[in-house]
Amino acid sequence: MIKRILLCLTMTVVFAQNNYPIVLIHGYIGWGPEEMGDYHYWGGTQDLQEELEKEGHIVFNVSVGPVSSNWERSVEAFYQIKGGQVDYGKTHAERWGVIQKPYGKKYAGLYPEWDADHPVHIIGHSMGGQTARMLLHQLKTVAYLDSSETFPDSSYLLGNSHLDWVSSITTIATPHNGTTLSNIVTRTLPFLQNFIGLAAAVGTKFYDFDLEHWGFERQIDENWMSYYERMRNHPAWETKNISAWDLSINGAQELNTLLQADPNVYYFSYTVSATHLDSASGHHVPRDGINLILKSKARTLGKEVAYWSDGSTTDSTWFENDAVVNTISQRGPTTGLNGADPIAEYRPNEPLITGQWYTTGPLDMDHWYVIGHTANKKEEKAEIRTLYIEHAKLLKSLPK
């Protein structure tokens, strides 16, 4: 597999042309570097941020709401990087009944220098890829408080235009067009519980759903299941201001209509697959060796059909999956009402242009293995490390 990754990624010219920092944005039910002890979202039992830094890359790892909407996650990412008081915007706060400026979300800034002269590369896994695209939109687009677009929002992020702050966006196993996995919260709980157990074994700050803006916090001495059940029964789950909506095929279609490719940004996507075609049924079934917790989800996704709001349905091209996200959805955004983003296969020897997605894969990995979870053997860790090191080299080779 390592040789195959190198074949996919190695460029003919690898000279560094920029040293822009890399920002890592975790996905749905993810966590930041201060949680889960020595068990890392990016790497599992190895620390991919540290591995990248050993190679001379500047890397920042943000911690955003694991179940929050992409709008809120991207706002949180911005202020963690740039610094300042998180401000979700007056219109957003009033529409969804959230606290506009949560008291506990004020940051010194991981990279206060961030601006058009000091742009960043963003890498997002799973929902983190959607969040990266939303952040770019918020940077570019001024949010107004009135329909005549006279009064901009007072927040630094939303009330101003910040052009050219992002050099590239890379998405890994991202549901750009949504996932057909229904009841995603319930179905992903067992794997999250497994992570919690691993972290507890080494001692850690407890996993936090980071929902202060909902007026929701973990109670003193509250056990994990009680905390989870209170979160799961919160009224926000019945709205569109939540991860479950953004991850659905209809929610993703709304995002894709809004978040079109920026002609000045480089785009990369990595697709992964944990299934193969069963010729007898026409469905996709899990590959041998897939994590047992994920196997049933891979089988379900391998035959599941979902419906868009206009009554049309997904077809058999959606059956291949990584046990959480349909592989076809990972290539890039195609379902927006304004048309699909341009998507091309990544080829190492061809020149790259901005405003177009370059996709690699599918790699034979499941949704979690691709960020290092369950990759515990020496050769497995080396495989994952190689994937990220080689891609970081590619990002560094992009022209300023």
Residues belonging to the active site: 126, 322, 367
Of 271, 270, 267, which is closest to residue 355 (Cα–Cα)?
Answer: 267
Q: Which residue has the tokens 């909506």?
A: 245
SS3 at position 24: strand
Of 135, 125, 181, which is closest to residue 157 (Cα–Cα)?
Answer: 135
Q: Which residue has the tokens 């220098």?
A: 113
Q: Which residue has the tokens 């506990």?
A: 104
Q: Do β-strands 22-25 and 120-125 pair in parallel, antiparallel, or remain unpaired? A: parallel
Of 79, 9, 7, 97, which is closest to residue 392 (Cα–Cα)?
Answer: 9
The pair of structure tokens assigned to 165 is: 């702050």
Contact (Cβ atoms closer than 8 angstroms) between residue 398 and residue 167:
yes
Span between the terminal Cα atoms of the chain, in Å: 32
